[in-house]
Chains A and B, each alone.
Chain A
């Protein structure tokens, strides 16, 4: 890795890790995951299932919030505070700047998710459950999902304000979660042109529902190895596409 990219990535990670919002969200993520024990008391039957469902949902929700909140501010703040000018006046290209920012954010997400995952596994063990490799696999898939979200928020952060970035990223996140219904809706379209356009849109929009295997792993439904492989490759390809687009936009931006 180029030293400039590495330097920006480490600095981005440090900057994110110093952010109070980051700690607050990690704290609440852990707090909500642990409070799943309270919810499990209210159910009848398999309390461990409810504990896992609620805990994983809390981790998922707060990790997505971290990804969005840190991502949307990243480039925008650098430009607003003019710190980006200092960096770019050095022998650092705009491409390296974006890649470094993305890697730094990815490292931040890995740290947040890793901390939550370790605490969650320890909590499950203390509650009488064993190590579930399915949940470990889910955390990997969640990390891939977070990478896509980070790349989306980074893309919007490179050309618009944080509030608009937030709206766009959240919208795409929600759309991405219900992409499994898209083809069903599309089947109602009869006009050939619209059918083609919506088909193109289907491949353009982020399909995040494929990373969401938490519902299945808790129910003990094993994910197919090919499904996992295709999901991993999809995430990498989609992130690469988003980064390329972000770099293209960022290259054309003029700073005043």
Chain B
């Protein structure tokens, strides 16, 4: 019979040998190099059946795995199955909010595929009709990445109409109307928001927009009248009051704060005291 001491030595020796082999194995594998992952994933419906009643757990594990998977940047084709993976997670548990939001975020920021993200968020909206976050995110992605203000406005419209939707959605909607070059409608919407504002932030935001929209409307008109004045008198008016006094305008409109626009008599240019450069892209 083999003595215990020899057995212990054999165990330690074998373990050392195994560690050595692991080290040798590691030297042949580039763990951090580019890899091409093949993902095979059954459909959400199949996974529902295969989870044998542990549906939420299956969705949680797949979702957590996907977060880790999409954080592994050296897998070159990791986006090939992106939509399928999040479709599967959301098919297993359609009322699980996070996969829609996080999935869309990955699609936009990592895969740079906004339409795919919008499809996922619309799916979320259909699954949880009372949730405003999906339309809010969809609106934001349209606004920020697609520069499709009309579509963004539609999403914000949907989000704002949902129960419990925060007030800022109405502001976003009005802002997008302004961005999509419909100043009259935007002015009306901001005026409503200004009148119903319940916080300083809401009031300031509305006031700034009203100021900007009014300035964008007034300044080109005043500039045209100054040009007419110059054509007739071969000089610029000394002041905006002179412009009004000589009958070119009935009265010089004040800015939204009730102050006069700035006028430079040497150059004949009229400008607003404040300029919000929201439309600079």
Q: Is B242 an interface residue (CB 8 A)?
A: no
Q: Mark A68-95, 1 if CB is under 8 A from B, else 0.
A: 0000000000000000000000000000
B267 to chain A, nearest CB (A): 55
Prevailing SS type, chain B contact patch: helix
Complex: A50 Cα to B96 Cα, angstroms? 10
Partner of A57, one of B54, B63, B93, B101: B54
Complex: A93 Cα to B56 Cα, angstroms? 45
Question: Judging by beta carbons under 8 Å apart, are B56 and A181 in contact?
Answer: no
A181 CB contacts on chain B under 8 angstroms? 49
Q: Is A254 an interface residue (CB 8 A)?
A: no
Known A215-B55, A219-B95; further 10 A-B contacts with Cβ < 8 A? A42-B68, A43-B63, A45-B101, A57-B54, A57-B57, A178-B49, A178-B53, A212-B53, A215-B53, A219-B56
A221 CB contacts on chain B under 8 angstroms? 95
A57 CB contacts on chain B under 8 angstroms? 54, 56-57
Q: Is B34 an interface residue (CB 8 A)?
A: no
B95 CB contacts on chain A under 8 angstroms? 219-221
Question: Judging by beta carbons under 8 Å apart, are A43 and B57 in contact?
Answer: no
B180 to chain A, nearest CB (A): 32
Question: Judging by beta carbons under 8 Å apart, are A54 and B98 in contact?
Answer: no
How many A residues face the partner with a CB closer than 8 A?
A: 26
A145 to chain B, nearest CB (A): 9
B8 to chain A, nearest CB (A): 29
How many B residues face the partner with a CB closer than 8 A?
A: 19
Question: Judging by beta carbons under 8 Å apart, are B67 and A43 in contact?
Answer: yes
Q: Is A44 an interface residue (CB 8 A)?
A: yes
Partner of A177, one of B52, B56, B64: B52
* A-B pair number, CB within 8 angstroms: 58
Give A residues with C-beta under 8 Å from B: 39, 42-46, 49-50, 53-54, 57, 60-61, 174, 177-178, 181, 208-209, 212, 214-215, 218-221
Specify which of A49, A50, A177, A214 lies most central, judged by the most chain B CB atoms within 10 Å of its CB.
Answer: A50
Partner of B98, one of A43, A174, A212: A43
List B residues 47-98 near A (Cβ within 8 Å): 49, 52-57, 60, 63-64, 67-68, 93, 95-98
List B residues 170-224 near A (Cβ within 8 Å): none
A182 to chain B, nearest CB (A): 11
Specify which of B60, B63, B101 lies most central, judged by the most chain A CB atoms within 10 Å of its CB.
Answer: B60
Given contacts A60-B54, A215-B55, contact A46 B97 (CB under 8 A): yes
Question: CB-nearest residue of chain B relative to A61?
Answer: B54
Complex: A254 Cα to B57 Cα, angstroms? 46
Complex: A218 Cα to B54 Cα, angstroms? 12
Question: Judging by beta carbons under 8 Å apart, are A42 and B57 in contact?
Answer: no
Question: Judging by beta carbons under 8 Å apart, are A178 and B67 in contact?
Answer: no
